[in-house]
Amino acid sequence: MVYSFKFLILLTLFNPILNAEILSVMTLNVDNLFDTFDDNKKDDKAFLPLSEKNTNTHIKQCDKIKVTKWRNECLYLDWNKEIKNAKLANLAKNILSYKQNGADIVALQEVENIQILNELFLLLKPYGYKNISLLESKDRRGIDTAFISKYEIRNPKLHYIKFSKKNRNSRPIFEVDIVLKNNVIKFYNLHLPSNFYPVDMRIDSLNALNALIQQHNYPSVALGDFNISSKDDNRLNLYKNQESQWYVGHREYCQECKGTYFYNGDKTWSYLDTILVAKNRNLNFINTSINVWRTPFNSNIKSGKPMDFNPITKKGVSDHLAMVAELELN
């Protein structure tokens, strides 16, 4: 018995797995999580109750929108309290379906403001979530990145990107410190320029991210909506080119996953969303945990495509699927 006890002590002291801290993470583009109030500083015209869309001013603003889908949303979408609450409930259900009570750290993209983030947080709070963070950016649409965490969040800051070509602007990189038992892990939440914009803007953004982590030696995670299509990735090796500094989640494992976003136009899957872990900083993926989070209520059972939230049926979650993983801090 004495020898067995000593063996267990030695096993605990020298086994890196037993001494490691495990952290689960999720990143999800929530696809236009707006409140129901008009904010003059943001382009939130589509996400208002129908009762507030009957003015000539509103109709004229909507008529200027060239994309038919977006113009119709601006004119006819009834984004009322009931619809908004249904969207929040579906998002909470999706987050909590992972590991029964949700990931330790959840990174979100396309959140309008701290008020709507707090509404989501209140649905998640009973399951161990303790902190939220969002800083208002200069994004013209008024959609920001945010964190919901079961651990302490410190030092939130925004890093605006200097693009190689002038007169360009985009969403900043959102940095926070997550405190895990006296260990600080840097988290970077990204929502890079969409594929409507030139690919060099996404390359500039990746270069800006890499410059940030070269300023310190902390364990670091970058996650979010990178907006890197499979077409651009195959042509330019955008994700592969990050592997000098990062482990790229879906390239480490998840080979059987199709992607997180499906382009209906050319019928292709892309990893718009992923998770990166900085190399050689005592933080690593548990490779078998890397996955695209798919459930019967967030995706089509047959095709696997994301099931976007439908305001009429109140079903679905987002046009993106979440990427999840567990990380090991030694």
235: domain CATH number is: 3.60.10.10
Q: Which of 19-23, 63-67, 192-196, 315-319 has the lowest mean pLDDT?
A: 19-23
From residue 28, give the alpha-carbon distance in Å to each of 95, 108, 321. Answer: 9, 5, 7
Domain contains 160: yes
Please name which of 150, 215, 228 lies closest in space to residue 188, comparing C-alpha atoms: 215
Same-domain pairing of 58 and 101? no
pTM tops 0.85, yes or no: yes
Confidence label for 140 from pLDDT (cuts 50, 70 and 90): confident
Q: Report how far residue 191's alpha carbon sits from residue 111's, in angstroms, rounded to the nearest whole number.
A: 11
Q: Do 64 and 180 belong to one domain?
A: no
The reply to whether 100 and 154 lie within a common domain is: yes
Looking at every residue in the chain, the average pLDDT score rounds to 93
Q: In the chain, what percentage of residues exceed pLDDT 90?
A: 86
Domain-located, residue 69: yes
| Phi, then psi, of 170 in degrees rounded to 5 | -160, 180
In a domain, 91, yes or no: yes
Whether residue 290 lies inside any domain: the answer is yes
- The whole-angstrom separation of Cα 186 and Cα 254 is 24
Whether residues 129 and 192 fall in one domain = yes
Shared domain for 55 and 128, answered yes or no, is no
Q: Is residue 13 part of a domain?
A: no
Q: Is residue 15 part of a domain?
A: no
Domain residue limits at 50: 44-78
86 and 73 co-located in one domain: no
24 and 48 in one domain? Answer: no
Q: Is 317 inside any structural domain?
A: yes
In a domain, 3, yes or no: no
pLDDT in tens, 267-308: 999 999 999 999 999 999 999 999 999 999 999 999 999 999
Q: What is the per-residue pLDDT for 139?
A: 86
Task: Count the domains in the chain.
Answer: 2
Residues 6+ apart with CB under 8 A from 316: 90, 297, 298, 307, 308, 309, 310
Cα–Cα distance list, 25 to 223, 279, 286 (Å): 9, 17, 11
Residue 90 sits in the same domain as residue 179 = yes
Mean pLDDT throughout 102-108? Answer: 98
Query: In this structure, are 316 and 229 located in the same domain?
Result: yes
Q: Do residues 68 and 152 share a domain?
A: no
- 68 and 93 inside one domain: no
pLDDT at residue number 254 = 87
Both 193 and 276 in one domain: the answer is: yes
pLDDT digits (tens, 9 = 90+) for 144-180: 999 999 999 999 999 999 998 876 778 999 999 999 9
